[in-house]
Amino acid sequence: MSEQARVYDAESAAARLTGSLAAWRWADGAIRREYTTVDWRSALLVANTIGFLAEAAFHHPDLTVSWGRVVVTLSTHSAGGVTDKDFALAARIEETVTWNPAGEGGALEGPPDDPRWRILKTAD
C-alpha cells in the first residue's frame, strides 16, 4: 500500500455493512461472513471461488472451511485493521458466491430445482 489507508473502527465498519453486505459482521477487528453450504463439495466450491477472487485482487482473507460451512474473515494486515480493500473484496465475494442466474432470466437458467445441485443451504 503506497499511501496510508483509512482503518475503520467497529462503529464505522458496522455502518458500511448494509445492503449487499448486511450478512457480514464486525468481529475482533475484522469483517466476517459465514456461508452455510449443503455439503462438503459445496463448501469447497465456495472456498475455491473466494480463493480465486482473493488472488485476482491480491488481497487474502482468512478462511475456515468445514462440512457445510465457510467462514471468511477480512482485514488488511499491513494497515492493522479493516480498510476499503476489505469492503471491496467482501462485496465481490458476496456478489459471486450468492449469484443465482435463475432469478435474472436470460440464457443462464441456474441449477435445477433439485437438492443435489444446490450450493448454499439458504439464500444466505
Calculate mean pLDDT across residues 59-71: 97
- The pLDDT assigned to 9 comes to 96
- Residue 120 vs residue 115, higher pLDDT: 120
- The pLDDT assigned to 1 comes to 44
Q: What is the pLDDT of residues 89-101, one digit of tens each?
A: 999 999 999 998 8
> Domains along the chain?
27-99 (3.30.1360.20)
- Residue 123 vs residue 56, higher pLDDT: 56
The position carrying cell 465457510 is 70
Q: Confidence band (pLDDT; 50, 70, 90) for 20?
A: very high
What is the Cα–Cα distance from 42 to 39, expressed in whole angstroms? 5
Calculate mean pLDDT across residues 12-38: 97
Cα 41 to Cα 23, 37, 47, 111: the distances in Å are: 22, 9, 10, 15
- Residue 117 vs residue 57, higher pLDDT: 57
In the chain the first and final C-alpha atoms are separated, in Å, by: 32
Is 58 within 8 Å of 109 (Cβ atoms)? no
What is the Cα–Cα distance from 72 to 65, expressed in whole angstroms? 9
- Residue 124 vs residue 25, higher pLDDT: 25
